[in-house]
Amino acid sequence: MCGVIGIVSNSEVNQAIYDALTVMQHRGQDAAGVVTWGSRGLKQRRGNGLVRDVFHHRHMMRLTGNVGLGHVRYPTAGGSKSSEAQPFYVNSPYGICLAHNGNLTNHDELSELLIREDRRHLSTDSDSEVLLNVFAHELHIRANGRLTPDQVFDAVEALHRRCKGGYAVVALIVGHGIAAFRDPNGIRPLVVGERKSGEGTDYMVASESVALDVLQFTRLRDLKPGETIYIENGGRLHSREHRGDVRHTPCIFEYVYFARPDSILDDISVYKARLRMGEELAGKVVREFPDHDIDVVIPIPDTSRTSALQVAYHLGVKYREGFIKNRYIGRTFIMPGQAERAKSVRRKLNAIELEFRGKNVLLVDDSIIRGTTSKQIIKLAREAGANRVYFASAAPPVRYPNVYGIDMPAASELIANGREVEEVEKLIGADRLIYQDLHGLIRSVRHGGSHISEFDTSCFSGEYVAGDVTDEYLQQLEQRRNDSAKKRRKAKRKGFKTSENSDARKPKPAVGM
């Protein structure tokens, strides 16, 4: 999962991109990068770490120009190396920089074709570099004198025919402008906005609308599935809808967990969606636990607060903040290594004993991934004196890997994979576990006025909307994503050897292939 920014302005964009990246830091804490272009040429700064750590005053002063891209990254393909921080760059044709949110499911096949047939060189394992080279190759074929919007649009159409998976892309074509596009399923989000001034109109594209808000851009609309927009350096915006088949199926996990609640994605308020998730979850609690003895509802901060408030309201019980969060600890399910994740929960949350002592508490979280966090939190609640600890998830059981740009664990490391709810309940140590139903989650996000009729729910259902996932691909993904494989890659970079053995459980096959 990543966050992307692209701005064409009438003034310097370095500070604007920095500010936008800081409000999208939740989308990527592994690496950050900025590229700008202006009268002094192309300037860039990339590195591992948070935005505030990668960019210092001396770097910002060098990032001159009125056109630029920004990126924050979690590694989904490739690794945690500074060489894979984005945006990437190729010098032919024109010079192109590209930043990408998503994942290509035919990365290996495309890499081979690029090297063998397109005669392109790849220096990393990142699928973003593959996307860049496919786009550059297709644009090079069509380059004929002055660059035109139709050449850009035709190059992206050709890219859509070659690339499979979920992707939202911004690309800076040096000296010409910025192109931005979504995959034909619109799985990953991308929104465009404008800002009027006495000097003209500035344009901005971003992964979430909150980035537009902080810079006082007016949100125009979300890009349609497969649509491309091209913003010339002079400030003129062109667009073309995808000429092939489209099926608008945005990722539902954006609304569950990743997106900020103050964002609007595909005309759907993330905040309102989470309110409705709480209403649906409360109904599930009443159906499964009609004679409940819940004294208090306590959220797992931060993303579950909105849902937990509604659960408490509809159950007619107290809502209390029972955990205080250390805001300087990253998201735990993405941290490498089970032991590190378990320790980080203790560093991340501290219980307020007064809210737990002698009470039957219902803890509400947005989702359960590995179960590491849930188990540790339940233990914290018991140590704080809770009488009974119930647990509710605003999302259904996560049983299958996400292949479209969210760096979820290998299937064997998902606690609900191949297990019934009662088994998960025992593993995390809850007195009762209640999951949201999938149809309840879909109903929560797809409100009455929404034009979205379906979503990518693959991590819950095992049905991959782009029709591009095979059992063989999932097996390869399992081998790459499990903790043992990540440890081997990390040790290899440090020059150590590790055992090839792994005690990971065999994952349950996905359905709906």
Q: How many residues does the chain have?
A: 513
Q: Would you say 202 and 8 are in contact if contact means Cβ atoms under 8 Å apart? A: yes
Q: Distance between CA atoms of 135 and 140, rounded to whole angstroms? A: 8
Cα 158 from Cα 450, distance rounded (Å): 30
According to DSSP, the β-strands at 296-299 and 268-269 are unpaired
Q: Is 198 exposed, middle or buried (0-12, 13-18, 19+ CB in 10 A)?
A: exposed
**Residue of 2, 97, 163, 251 marked catalytic:** 2
Please report how many Cα atoms fall inside a 13 Å half-sphere around the Cα of residue 513, on the Cβ side.
10
Whether 106 and 183 have beta carbons less than 8 Å apart is answered as no
Which residues partner with 177 through β-bridges? 173, 232
CA 225 – CA 188 distance, rounded (Å): 9
Cα distances (angstroms) measured from residue 472 to each of 106, 467, 509: 12, 14, 10
What are the beta bridge partners of residue 221? 192
**2 noted as active-site residue:** yes
Paired strand residues for 171: 98, 179
DSSP element (H, E) containing 478: helix 471-481
Residue 506 is given by DSSP the state P
Which are the catalytic amino acids? 2
